Structure 1
C-alpha cells in the first residue's frame, strides 16, 4: 500500500469548514514536495479541539484512492 508523509497545520476554524462539508478536499504538500489531495472527511479522525497539527502518513490503495490517515508525531 503506497504511503505519503506530510505536515499539516490547520486551525480549528479551517477544520470546522471541512467538518461541516463546506470544503470537500484537503490540498497539501508531502514532506518530499509532492502535491497531495485527500478527502476532508479524513480529518475527523485526527482533529483536536485546537485543529490539526503534526506529521501524518496517508495510506492509498494501489489504484491511488485514499484509504486512511495516521498521526506519526
Structure 2
C-alpha cells in the first residue's frame, strides 16, 4: 500500500502481531550503543480497557510484551 492508503486503526503491544519489526529495531539500537530508556505506550484498546478494571494486569501484560521483545532482540 502507498503511505496515503495506509490506515492506523489497530494498535497493539510490541510482539503481538509482528507487523512492525520491533526486535530488529531494538537490536539496531543495541548495536549503535544506545543505553537509554525503552518504553511501551500501550495504545491498545484491549489493554486500556483492562487497565480501567485491573491496572496491575494491564501493567503486567505491557511488561511481558517488552520482556518478549528484548528476548527476541537478543538482549
TM-score, normalised relative to structure 2: 0.27
Q: Which structure has greater strand proportion? A: 1
Q: Which structure has greater helix proportion? A: 2
Larger Rg: 2
By relative contact order (CA 8 Å, sep 6+), the higher-ranking structure is 2
TM-score, normalised relative to structure 1: 0.27
